[in-house]
Structure 1
Amino acid sequence: MDLLSAAYSATSDEDDDDLPPSFPPPATSSPPPTTSFAPPPLKRPRWEHQPHLPPPRPFLQPPLHNAAPPSSGRYVSKRERALLAASSASLLPPQTTAELDSSGAFFFAGSITDTNLRADILHSLRRQPKPGPSKSMPSKLSVSLKGHTKAINCVDWSATHAHLLASAGMDHTVHVWNVWDKGNTIARVLKHHTAAVKDVRWSLHGPSLLSGGLDCSSQLVDIVEGKVIKVFKEEQAVEVIKFDPSNPNIFLSGGSKGSLRLWDIRSGLVTKEFHRSLGAVLDIEFSADGRQFISSTDTTRSNISENTIIVWDVLRQVPLSNQVYTEAFTCTCVRYHPHEASFVAQSNGNYIAIFSARPPFKLNKYMRFEGHGVWGFPIKCNFSLSGKELASGSSDGSIYIYDYKSARPLRKIEAFKEACTDVVYHPVMPNVIASCSWAGEISVFE
């Protein structure tokens, strides 16, 4: 027994820190003894599979906190434990988490809460918006957001979580931005679409997003858990989506084949269809009471402009007028005025036209908003909270703000080097505006 004890204690304490007990002692270079006496052979160690040290985890996996040794029953050395701890601690900056779901569709980067916002922004968000025109128009760059790799089609502020902004890109992704977060402004990157995302809208049912894309689907996503709640499949690319303002369970979709459908998000089924020989639907807009909506379609295949803009009766599923706009241009955007009985249309003729929202929906031939450019880009426009100003993107990369009553230009903001595709007023702070570009950039001005 003394001889066996001496044999098993041949390794040093330092070696025990780096090698499991089942390892044989290292070989020595000293010559074998010349005497005839030989100690008994060392006990043969039982063979066990020794896995290699795992490589550092990729960035998209969650960091390891208080990582425990593997549960395979093998010995883990101090050096291996130190490497595991170091790799888990260096994955992400403080107060940031990252997660990729099993399908690779959702990337969690930062927080969606408002706990890390600038104090002045947090104070402004908690105030109720005041009626009337804003005291100052947006002019100063507040935040620049970068993350998309291709053109951005639209942006949308959350009405219930007003520090969050969503964007839909040609890079197949939807980004959720915690705009004024002092840490990481990218809150979520959603990759649930397999083709370009053309439109995105916030739902009023909690922090969830509805998006439509060229993969012939609209998808409702819970951004807290990062899960697709429901998928609405079509036989056409989805170009535009809008929630019914009178019923947040209903949304309208328009597609590349001209089909217009009302969907119920609870059942996932189509409740109404609006049939007409239309080109691709470019935009849609509900009236405030949800009884009517406007559709703008591409009529470039024909020599007539009939059906360019159609006003629909939702209940009867019939057009109230299909000869609203008779000029030989398509309209990339239509918007109802928030308070008055009128609507506007962004024309490819490089101007915004004004129409009455009451039959016979006449075009105002004596006033239009001019100065910006469209030139074939999907340029959008939007009203301010008060309806006193109308802001438009432009093919020259600038934002143009007009006085609604006179159509007089009030301000030009040079935002991007490439076309500014969308511009949206903040739902709470009237002097804040978000814009996006054909180059994949987002700028927020205040």
Structure 2
Amino acid sequence: MNSLVAYESSDSETDNDKSEEVNFLQRKDDFVHSKFQCQSVLPTVTGLESSRCGFELKVASTGSSNKEYNWRSTPNYAQRDLRVTPRPPEMSLSDETYFQFSKNNYKNGLDLMQKSDRIPAKMVPSAQKRLFQDSMAAAQNIKPYIPKRLRQKEVTYESKDSTEVLNSEKNHTPPEEHQLSLLSRISDFIKPYLENQCKTSDIPKRLVFHISQHKGPVTTIEWCPVQQHSHLLLSASMDKSVKIWDAIETGRCLKSYLCHSGAVRDAQWSLCGRQILSGGFDSMLHLTDIETAKQIISIHNGCQITRLAFNPENQNVFLSGGFSSTVKAWDTRNCQVVNEYNAGIQQTLDILFLPGGKEFLTSTDAVSRDSADRTIIAWDFQTSAKISNQIFHERYTIPCLAVHPKESVFVAQTNGNYMVLFSTQRPYRMNKRKRYEGHKVEGYAVGCEFSPDGTLIATGSADGTVYFYNYLNSKLIHTLPAHEQACINVSFHPVHPSIIATCDWSGEIKVWQ
């Protein structure tokens, strides 16, 4: 049995208010399904007067659990009743939420009962009266229940100043050391050149970046072999440091690795571009993760290191040579020597893998009385057997070797102030018709390199100038006054056709376009 509610209107009500009451009772069936529904939880008291609302509410208590409320405001609807359907318990708010009509505003109260957003009300006489807006704000501040399964997914990030606990489903900002990822982006400057496979190399003419943070001679520079991340430039110096630079957009140092206790003679990218192999005069070999700056392996080579080279077909194996008569092949998975190549020489100046990775060349400073016997030696990588040691017959040492990107030839830099071509096929004959001369070596380990399209050969010089030669006719095309001291190395960008990097004996690095 439903409850009956009786209201007695006060004398101050106008006729317009009464007409609104009649319209409201005519829609009594709709009120049950309206957005605002009252719960029949009023206390069993004999009378309740509300001077603020402008009407009198009387409650008749019966012996049963159900209660009857009679509406006796005017004779016109004295016999009519109002049936109120209570809301389900699961749709109710907590007992601390109350709603109160405005003072002397019975009309707005009726509108509120019709237009509210299905929020149940619990009218307790002893409760403190609040405004409707305050009650809505209180309802919005109610915190939802979070299941234990979701609470266990919270992730804690510790910083130097404080520890913040953030929900794993929300967006969070990790500490600064996690934000820097060298391989997480592609430079917008080189994106247009990644899809263009037919690029003609141009001679650079203007200086883009002048970097002078190294405090000792820069011994080698190399662009990242992964084309998407070729904005990264690796440099090794005799100031015991290895650095990675953003040499395309900003020119700033991104990472600096100080894992060596002596001068770093050589550093190489791994084939995947995620590790750096370095070696120097402290006789240590370090394979470093570029993101975390942690050493994956650290090996004592047994002698001072001058040159390193990854096998192009297996990045787990690399060669190391230095002030020893033996070149060693190392496996990074077990840090063991898998092969040795004994040449009976004093020092290894350079190591070059031929296409395919089955053969490699070494250049030495050993010179015989009549010819440069054993100056260039060809090796079988698997069997460690000498293929040939009678390749170069002139009495000059070879500080640098470079292979052509498209043709079966390689070039050798000599201390006779010229470069000469050889075939990569056995018996590695020398091309006597082509000789690239004009620059100066004068005892420095001056490097040389082919352009990505193979049309140019660039080399440094002891006078600080960069020389560009035409590969086909061996003519000097252009000279670039790059440095004041000896230019040690030149490196063509693997993607952009007109960018090169140079370094010198004073510790400067320059990027040209």
TM-score by length of 1: 0.72
Change in 2 beyond 3 A, CA 1:363/1:438: same
The correspondence for 2:214, drawn from 148, 160, 165, is: 148
- The C-alpha deviation readout for 1:387-414, integer Å capped at 9, x for no partner, is 1111111111111111111111111111
The amino acid that maps onto 1:148 is: H
Equivalent residue, structure 2, for 1:137: 203
1:347 is aligned to 2:414: yes
1:393 is aligned to 2:487: no
Distance, in Å, in 2 between the alignment partners of 1:225 and 1:200 is 17
- The C-alpha deviation readout for 1:50-81, integer Å capped at 9, x for no partner, is xxxxxxxxxxxxxx978359xxxxxxxxxxxx
Change in 2 beyond 3 A, CA 1:301/1:152: farther
Equivalent residue, structure 2, for 1:9: none
The correspondence for 1:163, drawn from 214, 231, 238, is: 231
Question: Secondary structure of the residue that 2:191 maps to in structure 1?
Answer: helix
Deviation (angstroms), 1:129: 4.7
Distance, in Å, in 2 between the alignment partners of 1:114 and 1:180 is 16
- The C-alpha deviation readout for 1:73-117, integer Å capped at 9, x for no partner, is xxxxxxxxxxxxxxxxxxxxxxxx998xxxxxxxx9987357696
Distance, in Å, in 2 between the alignment partners of 1:124 and 1:282 is 38
The correspondence for 2:255, drawn from 175, 178, 188, is: 188
Deviation (angstroms), 1:253: 0.9
1:249 is aligned to 2:312: no
Contact 2:412/2:421 (<8 A) preserved: yes
Deviation (angstroms), 1:258: 2.5
The amino acid that maps onto 1:171 is: D
The correspondence for 2:348, drawn from 259, 281, 295, is: 281
Change in 2 beyond 3 A, CA 1:271/1:365: same
Deviation (angstroms), 1:360: 2.1
1:271 is aligned to 2:341: no
The amino acid that maps onto 1:150 is: G
Deviation (angstroms), 1:131: 3.2
Distance, in Å, in 1 between the alignment partners of 2:369 and 2:278 is 30
Distance, in Å, in 1 between the alignment partners of 2:318 and 2:369 is 29
Unpaired segments of 5 or more residues in structure 1? 1-63, 70-96, 100-107
Query: Map of 1:25-424 to 2, 5 A cutoff?
Result: 67=161, 112=182, 119=188, 121-124=189-192, 127-131=194-198, 133-134=200-201, 136-160=202-226, 161-182=229-250, 185-299=252-366, 304-424=371-491
- The C-alpha deviation readout for 1:341-382, integer Å capped at 9, x for no partner, is 211110000000111222222222222001111000010001
Distance, in Å, in 2 between the alignment partners of 1:317 and 1:66 is 53
Change in 2 beyond 3 A, CA 1:302/1:195: farther
Distance, in Å, in 2 between the alignment partners of 1:322 and 1:116 is 44
Unpaired segments of 5 or more residues in structure 2? 1-157, 164-174
Change in 2 beyond 3 A, CA 1:204/1:116: closer
The amino acid that maps onto 2:204 is: P
Greater gyration radius: 2
- Percent identity of equivalent pairs: 35
Distance, in Å, in 1 between the alignment partners of 2:334 and 2:391 is 35
TM-score by length of 2: 0.63
Distance, in Å, in 2 between the alignment partners of 1:379 and 1:109 is 38
Distance, in Å, in 1 between the alignment partners of 2:273 and 2:501 is 22
The amino acid that maps onto 2:234 is: A
Contact 2:487/2:503 (<8 A) preserved: yes
Question: Secondary structure of the residue that 2:495 maps to in structure 1?
Answer: coil
Distance, in Å, in 1 between the alignment partners of 2:162 and 2:197 is 55
Contact 2:219/2:489 (<8 A) preserved: yes
Equivalent residue, structure 2, for 1:441: 508
Contact 2:199/2:497 (<8 A) preserved: no
Question: Secondary structure of the residue that 2:291 maps to in structure 1?
Answer: coil
The amino acid that maps onto 2:423 is: S
Question: Secondary structure of the residue that 1:331 maps to in structure 2?
Answer: coil
What number of residue pairs does the alignment pair up?
Answer: 344
The amino acid that maps onto 1:365 is: K
Distance, in Å, in 2 between the alignment partners of 1:327 and 1:267 is 41
Deviation (angstroms), 1:423: 0.5
Distance, in Å, in 1 between the alignment partners of 2:280 and 2:350 is 14
For CA contacts below 8 A with separation 6 or more, give which structure has more relative contact order.
1
Question: Secondary structure of the residue that 2:444 maps to in structure 1?
Answer: coil
Contact 1:142/1:445 (<8 A) preserved: yes
Distance, in Å, in 2 between the alignment partners of 1:414 and 1:156 is 21
Contact 1:250/1:262 (<8 A) preserved: yes
Distance, in Å, in 1 between the alignment partners of 2:281 and 2:388 is 29
Equivalent residue, structure 1, for 2:77: none
